[in-house]
Amino acid sequence: MSFPNKLKQCRTQRQMTQQNIADILNVSRKTVSGWENGRSYPDVNLLISISDIFYISVDDLIRDDRMLSYYAEKESQNNKASLVLY
């Protein structure tokens, strides 16, 4: 199951709205909607907070090839940026 589906399932099982999650995480409801629709992903700090809200490990929350690829690409971009700076 993908991260967006896991997030939505966890949220609905706890009978929480997107706004509830947004308020807890200090983000907009639109941001949470973007996560649930796969348009964007939370940063690492927010992933940890989300895992705390739902009592699920970060690994179980993000274990999805597409999301792991997203973070691998971000890391690659950061490494390339670091090389340019040096």
pTM for this prediction: 0.71
Angstrom CA distances, 12 to 3, 32, 77, stand at: 14, 13, 34
Could you state, in order of their start, the residue ranges of all structural domains in the chain? 3-85
CATH entry, 3-85, from 3.30.2020.30, 3.40.630.10, 3.30.70.260, 1.10.260.40: 1.10.260.40
- 77 alpha-carbon distance from chain centroid: 19
List per-residue pLDDT tens for the chain, 86 residues long: 888 999 999 999 999 999 999 999 999 999 999 999 999 999 999 999 999 999 998 988 888 666 556 666 777 777 766 655 55
